[in-house]
Amino acid sequence: MELSQIREEIDQVDAQIVELIEKRMELSGEVAESKRGTGKAIYDRQREMEKLERLGKLAGSEFNRHSIEELFLQIMSISRRYQYKILGDREHVLSDQYQCVDSLKITPETRVVYQGVPGAFSEMALLYYFGEAVQMSHVEQFEDVVKCLAEGQAEYGVLPIENSSAGFVNGVYHLLEEYDVSIVGGVNLTVSQALLGIPGASLSDIRTVYSHPQAIMQTKPYLEEHDWHIVSMANTAVSAKKVQEDQDKSQAAVASVRAAKLYGLDILQENINLQKHNTTRFVVISKDKVYTKDADQIALSFSLPHESGTLYNTLGHFIFNDLNMTSIESEAIIDKQWEYRFFITFEGNLSDQKVINALTGIKSETVDFKILGNYKNQS
């Protein structure tokens, strides 16, 4: 048979497949309507696995069996997404939990908490977002920020979540998943790290450098050029404060220029970070489940079993609904071997029907699903 003839027959088969898929989608729509009244779940994993096994047995070879199972796995996944689109948020996951507001409630009496001490980059992010006309306080640990909200000691908190050169800040996403708080705002802050010492100190005097692990990672190439002992601290400004209190010429801190001014330190070297446009993304969190009309970033978390295709099928909801995913992070679940929790951000607003369709599907097909917030970044 000539190649042209073979291709012609393939085209004919493909046309038949298209016709049959359209028929299948029509039937899937009828299934969705039948489930509307009964409240029956769209996703029935046990039934789908049994169906895949039956279809695989119809194949004439092992290769074709795998091909058919993979093909129908995707067809069934697409059918589910179509049903989610038809039924929408019938469980009212979004409307019952999240309220759309014109703007956040911020007054001179508003209490905002951050981790570290004055001069910390978290304080700078707070000032950038709220200005100075709020009641500011600071705590020692990231978890203390979230606890302040949970206990009603503050209305908002500020936490760093990701750096452009050092990656995600360890443990912060886990806190957002663990506590009943929501991301309501964001700040992209340009971070310029400097090496600070006491007045009169020089680079040749330095033996020990203190800073937060993220700042150490951001300035690693510079620090490795010197034979210095590196010590991790809870915060960059805490490091600067220690150097100021110890008044030891052999000590230095990696921190901000603002910290140098606040603690009376000399700037031994500016702009020592690896990336000259080093940026840290901070989030503003609240106990209230609200989002503004102009919010355009959504963060969520969920868990998946260690099974073939689970993450692929979950991410398919973003593709199917034309949503742009902007980041993904994973962490192992401590008490469940080979199972992982995923943290994802994507562009959208909770009032958008495409977002509702995607989140409805993801919630139905994952474990421990949680929307972490809908917010807008300020740069």
Is the predicted pLDDT of residue 161 greater than 90, yes or no? yes
For residue 167, the model assigns a pLDDT of 82
Active-site residues, by number, are: 280, 282
Summarize the confidence of residues 239-262 as an average pLDDT: 95
Could you tell me if residue 98 is inside a domain?
no
Could you tell me if residue 375 is inside a domain?
no
Q: Of 54, 87, 120, at which residue does a domain stop?
A: 87
Domain count, the chain: 3
Summarize the confidence of residues 76-88 as an average pLDDT: 85
Residue-wise pLDDT for 16-66, tens only, equals 999 999 999 999 988 888 888 777 888 888 888 898 889 999 999 999 999
**Pair (178, 286) in one structural domain:** yes
**Pair (213, 145) in one structural domain:** no
For residue 95, the model assigns a pLDDT of 67
Could you tell me if residue 318 is inside a domain?
no
**Pair (6, 147) in one structural domain:** no
Residue-wise pLDDT for 229-238, tens only, equals 999 998 899 9
Q: Which domain holds residue 185?
A: 112-191+279-291
For residue 90, the model assigns a pLDDT of 67
Is the predicted pLDDT of residue 91 greater than 70, yes or no? no
What is the distance, to the nearest Å, from the Cα of residue 17 to the centroid of all Cα atoms in its chain? 39
**Pair (155, 209) in one structural domain:** no
The CATH number of the domain holding residue 202 is 3.40.190.10
**Pair (51, 157) in one structural domain:** no
Residue-wise pLDDT for 62-72, tens only, equals 999 999 988 99
**Pair (4, 75) in one structural domain:** yes
Is the predicted pLDDT of residue 336 greater than 80, yes or no? no
**Pair (199, 164) in one structural domain:** no
Is the predicted pLDDT of residue 338 greater than 80, yes or no? no
**Pair (218, 187) in one structural domain:** no
Is the pTM of the predicted complex or chain greater than 0.75?
Answer: yes
Is the predicted pLDDT of residue 112 greater than 80, yes or no? yes
Residue-wise pLDDT for 272-308, tens only, equals 988 778 899 999 999 999 999 999 999 999 998 777 7
Burial track 190-224 (b if 16+ CB lie within 10 A, e otherwise)? ebbbbbbbbeebeeeebeebbbbebbbbbbbebbe
pLDDT band at 184 (very low <50, low <70, confident <90, very high): very high
Average pLDDT taken over every residue of the chain = 91
Could you tell me if residue 122 is inside a domain?
yes
Structure letter (DSSP) for residue 274: S
